[in-house]
Copies of this chain bind each other. A is one copy, B any other.
């Protein structure tokens, strides 16, 4: 039995959550519903997750003493975002189980390592190449072709740290503008649609996937999710199987999200893995209202050493993000019959900032 399989929380025990954003907030609320307490660690005194827990640690990720005290006050530790500094994760893991295992972060924090990992499982991705100089970029373009997307290997999200290279662009200038020494060039994928699978894996290796979700981005930020995705049952089964294989290969405990592209293929549509997020995911927010058990609860159950739930979906679900100034429309949404409004308790609505979301559930098949 591995260390992670030995964590078994009782109601009243305390989960440590690293990161204080809306994902941490919704994780803490899911834990409370199950009678579990949470302590949140975040350097930001205005962390939305601080509002929903009795105990919080406001300290820098480099604050070793604060990390150690935090770890000693909780029974298991998880995180709400994939960019937890490796050193912080190591300090925490020396004192308490950190789930999902911190070594998984090393895979998913680096686009190249992640793509190599997925490819080795025999799962298709867009063509990609390691790029570390103008010379290697030129070679990668020669192999992959244009258009293609150049991305930093680390710390990218919501379209940050990436740029599209079109035919005629100057590779030297693009390389200089990205300002990194380690990048990855990915073939531009002319996808039919973007989908995602939210999978939960328990400590004893059981995997439960939510129904495949279809996602619509605007300015690289998720705007709308719809479930079920408008794809064939066979393709949906294939997507869930990919998520399961990735979770198994990582010996994962908790919830992960796999983002995929549906692309035209010779024998009909096929799917490519775009990204793996080792955490609860915006495209799974619909589960809070549209299913008997949410992604947040599945994650909490998994890291608590509890059995996963068997979620039942209540209908066809649409989740709409409220981004930036869109939050000012919350009062209009309050009056929409059947709409469930979630506001994250954030301060100023900066452009691109996820401020809340709205869920709408329609009877299945009647949309």
Instruction: Point out residues on A near B: beta carbons under 8 Å.
Output: 11-12, 25, 29, 32-37, 50-54, 56, 289, 292-293, 301, 306-307, 309-312, 314-315, 327, 330-331, 334-347, 356, 359-361
| A334 and B309 contact, CB distance less than 8 A | yes
Kindly provide the distance from the CB of A238 to the nearest chain B CB, expressed in whole angstroms. Answer: 24
Question: 4 additional contacts, CB 8 Å, given A50-B54, A306-B331, A311-B338?
Answer: A35-B330, A292-B340, A301-B334, A309-B335
A119 to B29, CA, bound (A): 42
Q: So how many copies of this chain end up in the complex?
A: 2
Task: Return the chain B residue nearest A332 by Cβ.
Answer: B307
Q: In the complex, which residues of chain B have a beta carbon less than 8 angstroms from the beta carbon of A35? A: 330, 343-346, 356
| B331 and A312 contact, CB distance less than 8 A | no
Q: In the complex, which residues of chain B have a beta carbon less than 8 angstroms from the beta carbon of A345? A: 11-12, 32, 35-37
Kindly provide the distance from the CB of A209 to the nearest chain B CB, expressed in whole angstroms. Answer: 14
A11 to B306, CA, bound (A): 35
Kindly provide the distance from the CB of A244 to the nearest chain B CB, expressed in whole angstroms. Answer: 19
| B11 and A314 contact, CB distance less than 8 A | no
Q: In the complex, which residues of chain B have a beta carbon less than 8 angstroms from the beta carbon of A56? A: 54
Pull 9 A–B residue pairs with CB atoms less than 8 Å apart, ordered by A: A11-B330, A11-B345, A34-B342, A35-B345, A37-B51, A293-B340, A310-B336, A312-B337, A314-B361
A275 to B243, CA, bound (A): 52
| A312 and B338 contact, CB distance less than 8 A | yes
A345 to B9, CA, bound (A): 13
Partner of A53, one of B54, B307, B330, B361: B54
Kindly provide the distance from the CB of A343 to the nearest chain B CB, expressed in whole angstroms. Answer: 3
Q: In the complex, which residues of chain B have a beta carbon less than 8 angstroms from the beta carbon of A54? A: 50-54, 56
Q: In the complex, which residues of chain B have a beta carbon less than 8 angstroms from the beta carbon of A356? A: 35
Partner of A52, one of B34, B52, B293: B52
Task: Return the chain B residue nearest A28 by Cβ.
Answer: B52
A343 to B13, CA, bound (A): 13
Q: In the complex, which residues of chain B have a beta carbon less than 8 angstroms from the beta carbon of A307? A: 331, 334-335
Q: In the complex, which residues of chain B have a beta carbon less than 8 angstroms from the beta carbon of A347? A: 12
| A32 and B12 contact, CB distance less than 8 A | no
Q: In the complex, which residues of chain B have a beta carbon less than 8 angstroms from the beta carbon of A292? A: 289, 338-340, 359-361
Kindly provide the distance from the CB of A1 to the nearest chain B CB, expressed in whole angstroms. Answer: 19
A310 to B340, CA, bound (A): 10
> A54-B50, A314-B314 are known contacts. Are A343 and B309 too (CB-CB below 8 A)?
no
A34 to B339, CA, bound (A): 13
